[in-house]
Amino acid sequence: MFSRILLATDFSDAARPSVDWAGGLAALEGGTVVVVHALEHDLVAHAPDFSGWLESEDVDLSNYKDEIRRAAEKALLEIAERLKAKQVEVETHLLEGRRPSEVLAQAVIDLKCSVMVLATQGRGGMARWLLGSTAEKVIRTSPCPVLIVHDGDSAPG
């Protein structure tokens, strides 16, 4: 049923359980996890997400976008290795462009996925009103079912 599972990640701690969920679904179904990260053009806002993967403490601003891309690719590979250790087939894709919700909805189609697994940080109140909810936008626009994973949710199998 779910032969290709799109796992969307922002590399945050809140996204860690979604890796186990996607891997668990793939193991149950004999499917492939397609791990993607939607790299926004507004990279300055997302630099802290990559702090663990950036090679140097001093980021060369002339090469900033390239360094962020390399950090994202490195983070994608770490997730892929984690899934491969569980005997799950994996693909990785770094997506760039518009808002993550738009990029992810298109990726489901382009990468021929039948379900998306996505973590939510569970922001509420004023933070959600000011920042919006990527998960909510994805749910509204996704052409496939979306499994939302909260921090602390136990993965199947």
What is the per-residue pLDDT across 69-128, written as a single tens digit (0 to 9) for each? 899 999 999 999 999 999 999 999 999 877 888 899 999 999 999 999 988 765 444 444
Domain containing residue 26: 4-40+73-150
Tell me if 62 is assigned to some domain: no
**Residues with Cβ < 8 Å from 9, sequence gap 6 or more?**
15, 18, 19, 35, 36, 37, 75, 76, 79, 119
CATH number of the domain where residue 88 is located: 3.40.50.620
| Angle (nearest 5°) at CA 114 between 109 and 115 | 105
What is the per-residue pLDDT across 13-72, written as a single tens digit (0 to 9) for each? 888 899 999 999 999 989 999 999 988 765 555 555 555 555 555 555 557 778 888 999
Strand order in the sheet with 89-97: 89-97, 32-40, 4-8, 115-120, 146-150
To the question of pTM greater than 0.85 for the whole model, the response is no
Contact 120, 13 (CB under 8 A): no
Tell me if 52 is assigned to some domain: no
